[in-house]
Amino acid sequence: MKLFSSLLLSLSTLAFCLPGQAQTSNEEDLLVATEVPRIVVNYAPNGVIAGRAILYNCDTCEPEQVEFTADTELLIDGQPRPLTELARKVDWSGVVSVMSRSPNRVIQFSLH
């Protein structure tokens, strides 16, 4: 029984030390949600791209440009809305969600 326990412990330790295991965690595509105080939206569907937005994370921060597609989810005050609602005004604030592997492609706007 002791031999079996020792063998199991050795195999478990080896599994955590494999190089492929460490690379997998570094390559994960993570959801990144950022509260943005000012979002300037240009809703102008053109092929795959439904529009672009400029994110102003703070008064002294460099603005960041992102794009969104027809698949981008839009929530306004917590309620699902069609993307065409973005055309009703230019200045928004809220949470912008992207995936870490595609940081310039918005997957969800949660605006207020």
Over the range 73-111, which residues count as b (16 or more CB within 10 Å of their CB) and which as e? ebbbeeeeeebeebeeeeebebebbbeeeeeeebbbbbb
Mean pLDDT of 94-112: 97
Q: What's the CA gap between 97 and 108, in Å, rounded?
A: 5
- pLDDT score recorded for residue 25: 54
Mean pLDDT of 50-64: 96
- Extents of the domains making up the chain: 31-111
Mean pLDDT of 98-110: 97
- pLDDT score recorded for residue 41: 97
